[in-house]
């Protein structure tokens, strides 16, 4: 066992994939109940209410507000990619795809991060990283083909799978922006925000994107109403879970776990998300995992293991 991986840290690192799998399951269950972009805006509006008591100091003084104003472009981009785009696209994907497919495609984010690094950041992957990328890409292809190689010549993708590929690309871009801020800010140290303050800043800016997208959805999209519509109190409970669990609790537990054992080991816990989503889907949605899901999961995890070896 990794010397830093105590039972407490292992428990902390199990919380995020459990919350993320629950997020995918709920996104699927809410299809037809709440429009996907509206669900995303409601989730982050509720998360903002939770974060204000924790991160209000980021807005407390004129000097701190000036720090925010000086970095509004960076924060708007982070909020747009992480809050406004990734989760919204995931909820759109779940209207036509399954939680297992969505979480497996999301597990390919390291592949997109590597490709973005090559294209825009002059990163030069090692041969094992290319092997890992190939395995991860093959795993995603298995999901898209539903395990039938004969479908390759006449590939017809479920729209949700394409939306989730776009979401994975959005998260990869978001991750690079966290690691490499814009060149205009590279020489300046970021303000000393703690996790809650920094997340609060992203949510404040991200809600502008999320709210705008929800407004356009309300004007232009044709609502799909489920025949067994949930009562308002049930929708409120769902939004409360999304705000507390995947939005705040998972973020905090992930930060603590990565700080304790590093991103490489933490990544193995993140890859439990598709497995947990499969178990939840089988139990609650009657969507049992297929053999090709297991093959794809093994390929994607194998790709990440290969990429992380030195």
Rounded Cα distance, 126 and 103, in Å: 26
Q: How far is CA 32 from the centre of its chain?
A: 22
Name the burial class of residue 283, with classes exposed (0-12), middle (13-18) and buried (19+) by CB atoms within 10 angstroms of its CB. exposed
Mean pLDDT value of segment 192-219: 92
- 208: which 2 tokens? 């502008």
For the cut 50, the answer to whether the pLDDT of residue 155 exceeds it is yes
259-294 tens-digit pLDDT: 887 766 677 777 778 888 888 888 888 877 778 788
* Residue 40 within any structural domain of the chain: yes
pTM of the model as a whole: 0.85
How many domains does the chain fold into?
Answer: 1
Whether 192 is in a domain gets the answer yes
> Cβ atoms within 10 A of the Cβ of 185, count?
13
Q: Helix, strand or coil for residue 74?
A: helix
Whether residue 202 is contained in a domain is answered as: yes
- Asked, for residue 1, whether it belongs to a domain, the answer is no
* pLDDT at residue 75 in the model: 92
Tell me the DSSP string of 18-62. HHHHHHHHHHHHTTTTS-HHHHHHHHHHHHHHHHHHHHGGGGSSH
Grade residue 1 by pLDDT with cuts at 50, 70 and 90.
Answer: very low
pLDDT digits (tens, 9 = 90+) for 48-88: 999 999 999 999 889 889 988 988 998 999 999 999 999 99
DSSP H or E run through 261 = helix 250-261
Residue 2 lies in a domain: no
- Structural domain boundaries, residue 247: 7-308
- Dihedral of the CA atoms 225, 89, 81, 131 (nearest 10)? 160
What mean pLDDT is predicted for residues 228-248? Answer: 91
Residues in the chain: 310
């Amino acid at each position: 066992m990794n010397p830093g991986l105590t039972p407490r840290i292992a428990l902390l690192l199990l919380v995020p994939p459990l919350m993320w799998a629950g997020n995918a399951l709920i996104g699927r269950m809410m299809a037809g109940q709440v429009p996907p972009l509206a669900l995303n805006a409601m989730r982050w509006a509720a998360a903002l209410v939770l974060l204000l008591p924790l991160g209000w100091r980021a807005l407390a003084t004129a000097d701190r507000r000036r720090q925010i104003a000086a970095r509004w472009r960076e924060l708007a981009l982070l909020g747009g990619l992480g809050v406004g785009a990734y989760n919204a696209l995931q909820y759109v994907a779940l209207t036509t795809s399954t939680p297992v497919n969505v979480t497996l495609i999301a597990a390919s984010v390291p592949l997109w991060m590597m490709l973005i690094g090559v294209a825009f950041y002059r990163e030069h992957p090692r041969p094992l990283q290319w092997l890992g990328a190939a395995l991860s890409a093959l795993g995603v292809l298995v999901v898209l083909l539903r395990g039938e190689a004969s479908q390759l010549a006449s590939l017809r993708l479920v729209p949700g799978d394409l939306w989730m590929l776009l979401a994975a690309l959005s998260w990869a871009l978001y991750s690079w922006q966290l690691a490499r801020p814009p060149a205009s800010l590279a020489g300046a140290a970021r303000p000393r925000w703690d996790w809650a303050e920094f997340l609060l800043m992203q949510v404040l800016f991200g809600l502008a994107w999320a709210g705008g997208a929800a407004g356009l959805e309300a004007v232009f999209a044709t609502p799909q109403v489920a025949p067994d519509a949930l009562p308002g109190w049930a929708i409120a409970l769902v939004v409360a879970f999304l705000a507390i669990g995947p939005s705040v609790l998972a973020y905090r537990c992930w930060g603590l776990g990565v700080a304790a054992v590093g991103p490489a080991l933490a990544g193995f816990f993140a890859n439990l998300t598709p497995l947990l989503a499969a178990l939840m889907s089988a139990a609650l949605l009657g969507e049992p995992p297929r053999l090709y899901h297991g093959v794809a999961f093994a390929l994607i995890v194998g790709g990440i293991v290969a990429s992380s070896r030195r």
